[in-house]
C-alpha cells in the first residue's frame, strides 16, 4: 500500500508528505531580527499543542542561561515580573489559553514578544507594537514547528540570551543536513529501502508509546502529537531516567502480550548512564514488554539529532495514517471541540 503512489495521492489530499519533505526550508526562512532591550531574570514561553513545541525543543538546543519555563495553561507563573521575557506563541493566534496568559503577563509588566501566524495575537502585537515573528502559512500548527523554532532562536539571539554563538547560523546550516536526510523517506522510495515506511508497518494496529532521554524527550513528545493528529492513532510518551522509577514496573505485569508498539529514540549524545538505562531496561523487560523499535537518532550535534528525530517521526506518522486509511492533515474533532466549548 505504501508504495502505491496513486493511493497516497488520493488519501493525502493536503500533501502532508510534501510538507514533511519540504520542512527543512523552514530552518532557512529569515525572520527580521527584533529589537529587544532590557535585562531579564527569567523567560516564560506560553503556547499549547504544536505551538509549544519550539519551546520544548529549545530546552535541548540551544539551551538557556536563565530560568526558562513553558506555560501551557491560562495562568502564568507567579514570579513573572517586569524582568521577565514573555514569549506568546500561537500559530492560529486565537488560542484562548495563550491569550489569557498574555493578558496576565501584560498586567505584570513583562517584556512581550509574539510568535503567531495571524489571529488575535497578531492584532494585539501590531496594536501594541510588540515584536512580532510572523509565521508563514501552513496547513496545520504542528507543521510549523521548525518555523517556530527558528523564530524563537532569532528572538533569543536578539535579546542576548542564547548560549550557543551564532545559533541562527547553525539552524540555517542544519537545513541542508535535514534536506539530505528526508530524501530517503519520501513516497517514491520503496518500502524495502525506506525506514519510515518499515516502522509505520511495524506499528500498524497498535497503541504507541515513545521514549527518549532528556535530550530527545522533546522529539518523543512531538512523535506523540504526530501519531495522534496525523495517524489518528493514540500514542503516549515518557522519558528516561524517570521511566525507571515508576512506569517500568507497569510493563512487568500480565498480560504478557500487550497491544502496544514501543519506540525508543536513542541518542549517542545522551548521558552515558541514560544510554545504559535503555539497554538494561530492554534486558529486564524482555518477554514482559513488546520489544522496542529502536531508532538510533542520526546527526553529529544535538540540533541535527533533534531535527532528524522530529522529521523522521513526521514521516512515520503520516505513513501510519495511510495504513489507517485516514487523511493525515485534518483534526476535525479538535475543531468540533472548540465550537462546543464556545456554546
**Whole-number pLDDT of residue 45:** 98
CATH of the domain at 265: 3.40.50.10490
Res. 162: pLDDT tops 90: no
Would you say residue 5 lies in a domain? no
pLDDT of residue 296: 98
pLDDT band for 258, please (50, 70, 90 cuts): confident
Residue in 216, 206, 234 with CA at minimum distance from that of residue 304: 216
Domain boundary among 177, 198, 229: 177
Instruction: Pick the last residue of a domain from 159, 177, 195.
Output: 177
Residue count (the chain): 343
Is residue 25 a part of any domain in this protein?
no
pLDDT for the residue numbered 207: 97
Residues 26 and 147: beta-carbon distance below 8 Å: yes
Torsion of CA 335, 121, 161, 303, to 10 degrees: 30
pLDDT at 5 over 90: yes
**Closest C-alpha among 153, 158, 192 to residue 307:** 153
Q: How far apart are CA 256 and CA 38, in angstroms?
A: 58
pLDDT for 343 equals 84
Question: Residue 26 falls within a domain, yes or no?
Answer: no
Measured CA to CA, the distance from residue 223 to residue 244 in angstroms comes to 21
Write down the catalytic residue from 137, 245, 254, 283: 245
Same domain, 173 and 193: no
6 found inside a domain: no
Q: Is the dihedral of CA 143, 330, 91, 234 positive or negative?
A: negative
d(CA 275, CA 244): 13
pLDDT bucket at 164, cuts 50 / 70 / 90: confident
Whether 338 is a known active-site residue: answer yes
Same-domain status, 138 and 265: no
* 66 lies in the same domain as 156: yes
Domain assignment present for 13:
no
Please give the torsion angle defined by the CA atoms of residues 184, 189, 194 and 196, in that order, rounded to the nearest 10 degrees: 80
Range of weakest confidence among 8-12, 101-105, 252-256, 266-270? 252-256
* Interval 150-175 mean pLDDT: 92
Q: What is the pLDDT of residue 129?
A: 97
- DSSP character string of 172-239: HHHHHHHHHHHTTSSTTS-GGG-HHHHHHHHHTTSEEEEEE-TTTHHHHHHHHHHHHHTS---EEEEE
Do residues 166 and 37 share a domain? Answer: yes
Choose the catalytic residue: 9, 33, 336, 338.
338
Neighbours of 9 (CB within 10 A): 12
Domain membership flag for residue 299: yes
Q: Based on the fold, state whether residues 310 and 240 are members of the same structural domain.
A: yes
Task: Calculate mean pLDDT across residues 65-85.
Answer: 97
Q: For residue 261, give the 3-state DSSP assignment.
A: strand
Q: Where are the beta strands (DSSP E) in the chain?
A: 42-46, 68-71, 84-90, 111-116, 132-134, 207-212, 235-239, 260-266, 293-296
Name the pLDDT band for 256 (thresholds 50, 70, 90).
confident
**Tally of domains in the chain:** 2
| Residue range of the domain that includes 206 | 184-323
Q: Are residues 150 and 48 in the same domain?
A: yes
Confidence of residue 334 (pLDDT cuts 50, 70, 90): confident
The predicted structure's pLDDT at residue 295: 98
Choice among 229, 232, 270, 304 that is catalytic: 229
Res 255 pLDDT > 80: no
For residues 117 and 58, state if they share a domain. Answer: yes
C-alpha torsion sign, points 301, 304, 310, 314: negative
pLDDT of res. 233: 97
Q: Are residues 188 and 167 in the same domain?
A: no
Same domain, 138 and 193: no
**What is the pLDDT averaged over residues 257-269?**
95
Q: Is residue 172 part of a domain?
A: yes
Torsional class of 197: left (φ above 0), alpha (ψ -120 to 50), beta (otherwise): alpha
Neighbours of 203 (CB within 10 A): 24
Active site residue 245: yes
For the ranges 177-181, 225-229, 335-339, which has the lowest average pLDDT? Answer: 335-339
- As given in the structure block, the three cell numbers for residue 110 are 513583562
Give 136-140 contacts, CB < 8 A, sequence gap 24+: 136/29, 138/19, 138/91, 139/14, 139/15, 139/16, 139/19, 139/329, 140/50, 140/229, 140/329, 140/331
Amino acid at each position: 500500500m505504501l508504495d502505491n503512489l496513486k493511493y497516497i495521492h488520493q488519501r493525502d489530499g493536503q500533501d502532508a508528505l510534501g510538507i514533511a519533505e519540504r520542512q527543512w526550508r523552514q530552518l532557512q526562512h529569515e525572520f527580521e531580527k527584533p529589537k529587544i532591550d532590557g535585562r531579564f531574570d527569567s523567560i516564560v514561553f506560553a503556547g499549547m499543542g504544536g505551538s509549544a513545541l519550539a519551546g520544548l525543543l529549545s530546552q535541548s538546543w540551544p539551551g538557556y542561561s536563565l530560568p526558562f519555563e513553558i506555560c501551557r495553561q491560562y495562568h502564568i507563573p507567579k514570579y513573572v515580573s517586569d524582568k521577565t521575557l514573555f514569549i506568546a506563541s500561537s500559530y492560529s493566534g486565537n488560542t484562548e489559553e495563550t491569550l489569557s496568559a498574555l493578558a496576565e503577563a501584560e498586567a505584570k509588566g513583562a517584556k512581550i514578544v509574539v510568535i503567531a501566524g495571524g489571529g488575535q495575537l497578531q492584532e494585539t502585537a501590531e496594536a501594541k507594537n510588540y515584536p512580532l515573528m510572523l509565521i508563514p502559512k501552513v496547513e496545520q500548527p504542528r507543521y510549523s514547528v521548525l518555523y517556530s523554532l527558528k523564530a524563537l532562536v532569532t528572538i533569543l539571539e536578539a535579546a542576548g540570551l542564547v548560549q550557543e554563538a551564532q545559533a541562527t547560523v547553525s539552524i540555517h546550516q542544519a537545513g541542508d543536513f535535514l534536506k539530505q536526510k528526508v530524501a530517503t523517506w519520501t513516497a517514491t522510495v520503496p518500502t524495502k529501502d525506506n525506514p519510515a515506511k518499515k516502522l509505520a508497518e511495524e506499528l500498524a494496529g497498535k497503541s504507541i508509546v515513545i521514549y527518549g532521554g532528556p535530550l530527545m524527550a522533546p522529539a518523543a513528545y512531538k512523535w506523540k502529537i504526530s501519531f495522534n493528529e496525523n495517524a489518528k492513532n493514540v500514542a503516549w510518551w515518557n522519558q528516561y531516567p524517570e521511566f525507571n522509577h515508576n512506569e517500568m514496573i507497569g510493563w512487568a505485569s500480565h498480560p504478557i502480550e500487550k497491544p502496544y508498539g514501543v519506540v525508543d529514540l536513542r541518542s549517542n549524545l545522551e548521558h552515558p548512564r541514560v544510554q545504559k538505562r535503555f539497554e538494561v531496561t530492554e534486558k529486564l523487560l524482555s518477554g514482559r514488554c513488546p520489544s522496542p523499535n529502536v531508532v538510533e537518532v542520526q546527526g553529529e550535534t544535538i540540533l541535527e539529532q533533534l531535527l532528524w528525530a522530529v522529521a523522521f517521526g513526521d514521516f512515520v506518522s503520516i505513513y501510519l495514517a495511510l495504513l489507517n486509511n485516514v487523511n493525515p492533515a485534518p483534526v476535525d474533532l479538535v475543531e468540533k471541540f472548540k465550537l462546543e466549548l464556545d456554546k
